[in-house]
């Protein structure tokens, strides 16, 4: 028997970087909205959700089934479904419909604003203040967009992360987002590291599904918001997307304005956007 061995799609796709053929097609992101964000300071600032606790409470231990092995604070009790068909408390995934085309750049601004969170040689009171401020940023983020690392926090895919991890991941993404706007930076992201993938490839592999899209494009499906951000970075690098501020951007004259930028090209290919959202457009009428 002869098998036609095809190279993995992703290898083919990214070998084409230099052929200038790529255009990036980002597929919709679906997630289950979590509820009741809290950061547990007694355990080092782990991010958790009341709706996940409810989910865990509704499960029972079955000794004859393989148990979850987790190390985190909230999963010390190993749990599995009593009956996998009885999962009536599973929430529906919804398509993310918010404005998020600048998420990779927005998180960069947030870590810059909250860099006191990472400073250590300051009085304890200052650290507490900075932690509280960053905690609030993450709370508002999750209420709007869901968890950053897991699309469904009510599942075994949930990754326990500390506020520290959020900060570090946002910093990495922010640096890449800024690199994506310069030739030198693009090179850093695209160039394969000997024996390894390029930074861009590595992150797309880890956090997205990649495939061939329509009309010689590359389709990327984010598995979480980390992947969403890397998909946007890929678009910046390969399609040369640039950004400007929304016309309703916050300023001294416009204190209730937004904090978002608009890309030179929308995901559907439309150009010359002026506003990040219908709300912003309405606000300036
Ligand atoms: Zn706006």
Is residue 243 within 8 Å of residue 252, measured between CB atoms? Answer: no
Q: What SS3 string covers 82-102?
A: CCHHHCCCCCCCEECCCCCCC
Measured in Å, residue 270 CA sits from the centre of ligand 1 at 17
From the number of C-beta atoms within 10 Å of its C-beta (0-12, 13-18, 19+), residue 165 rates as middle
Q: Is residue 172 located within the same domain as residue 136?
A: yes
The domain tally of the chain equals 2
Q: Is residue 232 located within the same domain as residue 252?
A: no
Q: Is residue 2 located within the same domain as residue 124?
A: yes
Measured in Å, residue 106 CA sits from the centre of ligand 1 at 12
Measured in Å, residue 274 CA sits from the centre of ligand 1 at 9
Over residues 234-259, the pLDDT tens digits come to 999 999 999 999 999 999 999 999 99
DSSP type of residue 255: T
Is residue 261 within 8 Å of residue 243, measured between CB atoms? Answer: yes
Summary mean pLDDT of the chain: 81
Q: Is residue 169 located within the same domain as residue 133?
A: yes
pTM of the model: 0.81
Q: Tell me, yes or no, whether 74 lies in a domain.
A: no
Q: Is residue 273 located within the same domain as residue 151?
A: no
With a cut of 80, say whether residue 262 has pLDDT above it. yes
Protein residues placing their CB within 5 Å of the ion ligand 1: 246, 248, 258, 260, 276, 280
Measured in Å, residue 278 CA sits from the centre of ligand 1 at 8
Q: Tell me, yes or no, whether 81 lies in a domain.
A: no
Residue 51: the pLDDT is: 92
Please write down the long-range contacts of 250-259, taking CB distance under 8 Å and 24 or more positions apart.
256/283, 257/283, 259/106, 259/109
> d(Cα 141, Cα 148) in Å, to the nearest integer?
9
Q: How many helices (H) and strands (E) does the chain have?
A: 9, 9
Tracing tokens 């304005």 back to the chain, one arrives at 257
Domain region containing 172? 1-34+96-240
Residue 220 dihedral angles phi and psi, to the nearest 5°: -125, 125
Q: Is residue 107 located within the same domain as residue 204?
A: yes
Measured in Å, residue 127 CA sits from the centre of ligand 1 at 32
Q: Which of 60, 62, 58, 79 is nearest to 70 (CA)?
A: 79
> d(Cα 265, Cα 42) in Å, to the nearest integer?
45
Over residues 181-218, the pLDDT tens digits come to 999 999 999 998 888 899 999 999 999 998 887 777 88
Over residues 27-79, the pLDDT tens digits come to 888 899 999 999 987 667 899 999 999 888 887 544 444 444 444 433 333 33
Is residue 96 within 8 Å of residue 146, measured between CB atoms? Answer: yes
From the number of C-beta atoms within 10 Å of its C-beta (0-12, 13-18, 19+), residue 139 rates as middle
Q: Is residue 13 located within the same domain as residue 101?
A: yes
DSSP-assigned letters across all residues of 223-239: SSHHHHHHHHHHHHHHH
Q: If pLDDT is split at 50, 70 and 90, which confidence band does 23 have?
A: confident
Tokens for 200? Answer: 């861009």
Q: Is residue 224 located within the same domain as residue 235?
A: yes
Element (H, E) at 30: strand 30-31
């Amino acid at each position: 028997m002869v098998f036609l061995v095809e190279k993995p799609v992703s290898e083919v796709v990214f070998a084409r970087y230099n052929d200038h053929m790529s255009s990036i097609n980002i597929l919709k992101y679906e997630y289950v909205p979590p509820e009741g964000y809290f950061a547990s300071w007694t355990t080092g600032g782990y991010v958790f959700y009341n709706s996940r606790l409810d989910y865990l409470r509704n499960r029972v231990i079955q000794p004859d089934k393989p148990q979850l092995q987790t190390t985190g604070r909230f999963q010390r009790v190993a749990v599995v479904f009593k009956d996998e068909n009885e999962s009536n408390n599973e929430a529906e995934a919804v398509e993310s419909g918010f404005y998020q085309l600048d998420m990779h750049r927005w998180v960069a601004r947030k870590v810059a604003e909250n860099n006191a969170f990472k400073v250590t040689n300051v009085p304890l009171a200052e650290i507490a203040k900075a932690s509280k401020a960053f905690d609030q940023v993450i709370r508002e983020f999750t209420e709007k967009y869901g968890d950053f690392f897991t699309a469904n926090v009510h599942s075994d895919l949930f990754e326990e992360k500390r506020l520290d991890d959020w900060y570090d991941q946002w910093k990495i993404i922010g640096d890449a987002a800024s690199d994506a706007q310069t030739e030198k930076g693009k090179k850093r992201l695209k160039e394969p590291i000997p024996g390894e993938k390029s930074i861009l490839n590595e992150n797309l592999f880890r956090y997205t599904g990649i495939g061939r899209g329509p009309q010689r494009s590359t389709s990327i499906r984010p598995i979480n918001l980390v992947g969403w951000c890397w998909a946007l970075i890929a678009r910046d690098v390969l399609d040369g997307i640039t950004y400007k501020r929304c016309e309703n951007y916050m300023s001294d004259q416009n204190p209730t304005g937004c904090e978002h930028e608009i890309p030179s090209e929308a995901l559907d290919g439309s150009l010359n956007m002026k506003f990040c959202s219908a709300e912003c457009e309405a606000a300036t009428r």
